């Protein structure tokens, strides 16, 4: 007998969101977040429930997430991290903080309070809705500033240049000290007489142990990250689905749907002899920094890796793909193949006949002197007549992939 009800994937997603929202609201209500005087007590150092609950949830989730990452169960690059707009974020935080002190609620807790029938929570929630509508109508007046000071996906371990394991340990230690200070304030200012319960002590102890063990366990290397995605990506390499023809690179160069970033992973000597005018030289050790930079940029980006042939570029491709960079491709045949088409326009470039074994990753061209990007072949333009000739010889392979991750975020 067939089950009479089927749930579409989109409806299932909404159902999951609904259940999580109900559970989150219930947790806030049980923590006392529906009572404005309790929330406002945070700012008078009388009741530190807000700090304990919210910061406790944050550090617990943080420890679990990064242990899952370290164990290979979770891909951190696919976790949405709200982008940082520094000055708008600071001003918005100050406005919300003032509203929190005056009204006793933040947006999320006001709806929890309203759901329990409290009038102050209802009025605050109505104010939130009105503020959202007002912001939507006036945002064009300050649109440029609102999207200023953009830092993309910015995390503490990137800011301080350390591993995520070390940063997790530091944040958890800081949290425990803050919990101790909050407990002290509640006793001195709020008149509380109870301290940490035994379950709380065990919980904090296990949390600290897990956090301190994380740096010792270490984070996955690029090779380990590649091993996780290799079953999906290796067939693309074998079928040469990610190797693009010089003609397609030229088309990408002039395609306004996306920006094209060309990374040249050859030696400095070969790069100085000849390189594409819009190419950036990148050592293999520089690729993680390039990956972070590309992923922070809000523009849709296609990355093309270049070497003399394409073996070194293939290894660089594996690194960027393992680090979660979308839309990464390889120039098929590398600079050698590029010059097959464009060297004829520069009499200073001559073909070489390489003998005595494979010519892998060797330049098959001789130069009268180091040309760098001064050769016409470094930046051919469409009116040279190359366009039709190249269009006849390749099938487009670039398929744009939007960065993974949902949008949005907010206050609890």
Is residue 289 assigned to a domain? yes
- pLDDT value of residue 251: 85
Question: Is 15 within the bounds of a domain?
Answer: yes
- Is residue 105 assigned to a domain? yes
Q: Which residues of 131-161 are buried (b: 16+ CB within 10 A; e: fewer)?
A: eeeeeeeeeeeeeeeeeeeeebbeeebbeee
Residues 257 and 185 in one domain: no
Domain that holds residue 369: 222-391
DSSP assignments along 263-299, one per residue: EE-S-HHHHHHB--TTEEE--GGGHHHHHHHHHH--S
| DSSP assignment of 121-135 | HHHHHHHHHHHHHHH
Both 283 and 158 in one domain: the answer is no
Boundary residue ending a domain (217, 233, 258): 217
The CATH number linked to 233 is 3.40.250.10
The string of pLDDT tens digits covering residues 150-165 is 887 788 888 888 888 9
Classify 68 as helix, strand or coil. Answer: helix
Tell me, yes or no, whether 187 and 247 share the same domain. Answer: no
Are 175 and 300 in a shared domain?
Answer: no
Sign of CA dihedral 170, 171, 172, 178: positive
Rounded Cα distance between 204 and 202, Å, is 6
Which two structure tokens, joined as six digits, stand for 312?
């070194």
CB 157 within 8 A of CB 164: yes
User: In angstroms, rounded to a whole number, what is the distance separating the alpha carbons of residues 53 and 61?
Assistant: 12
Write down which residue in 217, 237, 267 finishes a domain.
217
My answer on whether 192 and 318 are in the same domain is no
Flag whether 4 is in a domain.
Answer: no
Same domain, 212 and 116: yes
pTM: 0.67
Regarding whether 226 and 169 lie in a shared domain, the answer is no
Alpha-carbon distance values, 213 to 56, 156, 170, 250, 379 (Å): 19, 19, 12, 50, 52
Other CB atoms within 10 Å distance of the CB of residue 108: 18
- Domain identity same for 297 and 364: yes
Domain presence at residue 398 = no
Domain shared by 123 and 67, yes or no? yes
Kindly report the CA angle at 377 between 375 and 380, in degrees rounded to 5? 120
Query: Do residues 276 and 378 touch, judged by C-beta distance below 8 A?
Result: yes
Give the chain's residues under pLDDT 50. Answer: 1-5, 356-358, 405-410, 412
Separation between Cα atoms, residue 190 and residue 70, nearest integer Å: 41
- Kindly state whether residue 406 falls inside one of the protein's structural domains: no
Tell me, yes or no, whether 2 lies in a domain.
no
Q: Which among 361, 365, 374, 341 has a CA at the least distance from the CA of 267?
A: 361
Q: Are residues 99 and 172 in the same domain?
A: yes
- Number of domains making up the chain: 2
Residues 358 and 312 in one domain: yes
- Give, in degrees to the nearest 5, the angle at Cα 369 between 368 and 373: 115
Q: Write down the pLDDT at residue 209.
A: 93
- Of 185, 217, 249, the last residue of a domain is 217
What's the confidence (pLDDT) of residue 32?
85
What's the burial of 408, exposed, middle or buried (CB within 10 Å: 0-12/13-18/19+)?
A: exposed
Q: Where are the alpha helices (DSSP H) in 189-220?
A: 198-217
Structural domain contains residue 404: no
- The verdict on 287 and 316 lying in the same domain is yes
- DSSP element (H, E) containing 305: strand 301-306
């Amino acid at each position: 007998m067939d089950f009479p009800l089927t749930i579409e994937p989109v409806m299932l997603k909404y159902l999951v969101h609904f259940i999580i929202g109900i559970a989150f609201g219930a947790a806030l209500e049980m923590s006392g977040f529906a009572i404005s005087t309790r929330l406002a007590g945070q700012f008078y150092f009388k009741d530190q429930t807000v700090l304990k609950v919210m910061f406790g949830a944050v550090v617990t989730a943080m420890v679990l997430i990064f242990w899952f990452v370290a164990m290979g169960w979770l891909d951190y690059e696919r976790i949405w991290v709200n982008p940082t707009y520094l000055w708008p974020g600071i001003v918005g935080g100050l406005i919300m903080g003032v509203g929190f002190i005056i009204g006793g609620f933040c947006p999320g807790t006001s709806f929890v309070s309203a759901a329990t029938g409290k009038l102050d929570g209802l009025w605050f929630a109505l104010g939130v809705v009105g503020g959202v509508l007002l912001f939507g109508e006036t945002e064009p007046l300050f649109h440029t500033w609102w999207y200023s000071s953009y830092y993309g996906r910015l995390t503490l371990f990137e800011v301080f240049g350390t591993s995520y394991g070390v940063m997790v340990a530091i944040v958890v230690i800081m949290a425990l000290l803050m919990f101790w200070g909050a407990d002290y304030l509640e006793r001195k200012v709020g008149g509380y007489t109870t301290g940490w319960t035994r379950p709380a002590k065990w919980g904090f102890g296990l949390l600290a142990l897990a956090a301190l063990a994380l740096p010792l366990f270490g984070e996955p290397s690029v090779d380990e990250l590649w091993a996780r995605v290799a079953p999906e990506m290796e067939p693309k390499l074998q079928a040469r689905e990610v190797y693009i023809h010089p003609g397609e690179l030229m088309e990408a160069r002039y395609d306004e749907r996306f920006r094209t970033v060309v990374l040249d992973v050859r030696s400095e000597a070969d790069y100085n002899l000849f390189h594409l005018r819009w190419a950036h030289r990148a050592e293999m050790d520089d690729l993680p920094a390039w990956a972070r930079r590309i992923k922070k940029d809000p523009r849709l980006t296609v990355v093309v890796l270049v070497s003399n042939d394409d073996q070194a570029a293939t290894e660089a491709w594996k690194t960027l793909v393992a680090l979660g960079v979308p839309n990464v491709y390889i120039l098929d045949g590398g600079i050698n193949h590029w010059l097959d088409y464009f060297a004829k326009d520069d009499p200073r470039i001559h073909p070489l006949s390489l003998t005595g074994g494979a010519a892998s990753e060797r330049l098959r061209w001789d130069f009268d002197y180091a040309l760098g990007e001064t050769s016409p072949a470094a930046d051919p333009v469409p009116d040279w007549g190359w366009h039709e000739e190249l269009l006849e010889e390749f099938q487009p392979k670039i398929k744009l992939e939007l960065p993974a991750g949902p949008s949005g975020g907010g206050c609890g």
